[in-house]
Amino acid sequence: MKVTAERMENCQVSLTVEVEPDELEGSLESAYRRLVGKVSIPGFRKGKAPRPILEQHVGKETLLEEALERLIPQLYLQAVEQEKIEPIDEPHIDIEQTDPVVFKAVAPLRPEVELGDYRSIKVDPAPVEVGDKELEEALERIREGQAVWNPVDRPVALGDLITADFEAIIDDRPLLDHKDMVYEVREDSKWPLPGVAQGLVGAVKGEAWAFDVEIPADYGLDEFVGKKCSFKITPKEIKEKELPEVNDEFAHVLDCDNVVAMKEKVAADLKEMAETKLNQELRQKALDAMVDLSKVNYPPVVEDKEIGNLIREEMQRMGFNNANDYFERVGKKREEYVEQLRPVARERINHTLILDKLAEAEKIEVAADELEERMEEIVKRSEDKEKARQLVALPQIKEGVEQSLRTQKTLDMLVDIATGKIEERVEQEQEKDVEKIAKEVEPE
């Protein structure tokens, strides 16, 4: 065979292969032997018809297709080896002509990543502070979580919890018809429509309460925008919220002995959450800067596979096994949804490739004990620990956990570079070395 290789854009290579006559003849003979035993030809026992007779019966084109179906993949692999090419996926093959046989194979190659001067990235972290306001808001949220609802004998007020029969009509068409519906009369509630909670204020237990609410323009009911929705709501039970006092007894909710210890614990938790959030923000800023400095090139198949991964992840999250059912549920055609996901896929690909390259450049590895510790954490957090242990032992799961750890370590290192922590550590190590040398040469 004769091979012509040509590098293409987007990390692809085009291989044009011209098949030699003897190669084609050998494949045609093999195809003849396979087909002659399968085809019944009048006047001949199965498997005994000469090749010219078989060609007349099935057609030369059929015999050629049978021959090329096996010959082309074989020659493609030989061409790849001859040209010292390392494809990362299956090629796209077109037969350009049949006399002589010439086919073109476009093969995807490994992505290329050129890192910029990432050690020049600088990010200034904001100081983490927890003030009295944040502490009081956190304590209030805890109180809300421990609140109890007590029945009251008075009209409905904002903040109440009611059990009621709900009816709603728009243009003589029913919007709601629910019995014994539990509803929290929150001032910021937008369900079933903005203004319903306010309209309920003053309603009396056991009596139908009627009011109208106008359909807003941004609520998704386009055909009814500006029209009145008529509500008739009959409260059956009205409850008001009772919040616990912040005292030593309340502190036991957080396993603390007293209010002082509870506030210290809540403040420490808030600080930890703030530091976690700050670290996430720093990671994102440093990674964005890294992307701006770097150049990434990859074949289209990488993007197609990432889009497929995104779709499968969303299907799994929503509980779908069938793609057609999923696309019907989201109300979009596959092609439309694929284009919508393309920017997301590109961002994920860029981040992954850049971080992998950075980990390679900085020789970041995951130690065996680190991997074991992370897998044990996964098992401990699982309800079915035995099943979780079996899952994390699978090679593909173990590899995924290791890759995740490596990515986290790479991001942490990037943040250390961007915030100057690595320089500080280097300076500290240098100072230690100087002190050590000074002691060694110090005269006795």
Residue 305 has pLDDT above 60, yes or no: yes
Residue 426: its pLDDT value, please?
52
Report the pLDDT value the prediction gives residue 188, as an integer from 0 to 100.
Answer: 92
Comparing 84-88, 275-279, 358-362, the range with the smallest average pLDDT is: 275-279
Lowest-pLDDT range of 232-241, 291-300, 419-428: 419-428
**Better-predicted residue by pLDDT, 218 or 32:** 32
Q: How confident is the model at residue 94 (pLDDT cuts 50, 70, 90)?
A: very high
Say yes or no to pLDDT of 45 above 60. Answer: yes
Element holding 12 (H helix, E strand): strand 12-18
Residue-level pLDDT at 129: 85
Rounded to an integer, what distance in angstroms lies between the CA atom of residue 377 and that of residue 370? 11
pLDDT of residue 323: 86
pLDDT at res. 245? 93
Q: Where in the chain is the domain with CATH 3.30.70.1050?
A: 2-110
Nearest to 375 by CA among 405, 406, 407: 405
Identify any residues that bridge with 214 across adjacent strands, giving them in sequence order.
Answer: 228
Q: Over 80: is that where the pLDDT of 184 sits?
A: yes
Q: What pLDDT score does 172 carry? A: 87
Strands (E), 185-284: 209-214, 228-242
Domain 148-242 has CATH 3.10.50.40: yes
Give the whole-angstrom CA distance, residue 392 versus residue 404.
13
pLDDT of residue 436: 56
Higher pLDDT, 332 or 444: 332
pLDDT value of residue 246: 92
CA distance 100 to 75: 15
Cα separation, 186 vs 195, in Å, equals 10
Segments of the chain assigned to CATH 3.10.50.40: 148-242
- Higher-pLDDT residue of 286 and 125 is 286
User: Sign of torsion, CA 388 394 397 403?
Assistant: positive
Q: What pLDDT, on a 0 to 100 scale, did the predictor assign at position 217?
A: 85
pLDDT of 438 > 70? The answer is no
- Average of per-residue pLDDT across 376-387: 90
> How many angstroms separate the CA atoms of 393 and 372, rounded?
10
Confidence band, pLDDT 50/70/90 cuts, at residue 130: confident
Inform me whether the pLDDT recorded for 443 exceeds 80: no
**pLDDT at res. 439:** 60
- C-alpha distances (whole Å) from 336 to each of 133, 284, 340, 366 are 47, 29, 6, 40
Local structure of 84: helix, strand or coil = coil
Indicate whether 431 pLDDT > 60. no
Band of pLDDT at residue 15, cut at 50, 70 and 90: very high
Least confident of 1-15, 45-59, 321-335: 321-335
Which pLDDT score is estimated for 247? Answer: 94
Residue 49 carries which DSSP code? Answer: S
Question: Over 90: is that where the pLDDT of 186 sits?
Answer: yes
Tell me what percent of the residues of the chain surpass a pLDDT of 70. 95
Q: Using an 8 Å Cβ cutoff, are 415 and 283 in contact?
A: yes
CATH number for 2-110 (one of 3.40.50.2300, 3.30.365.10, 3.30.70.1050, 3.40.980.10): it is 3.30.70.1050
Extract the tokens encoding 427.
């300076």
Instruction: Express each pLDDT in 247-257 by its tens digit.
Output: 999 999 899 99
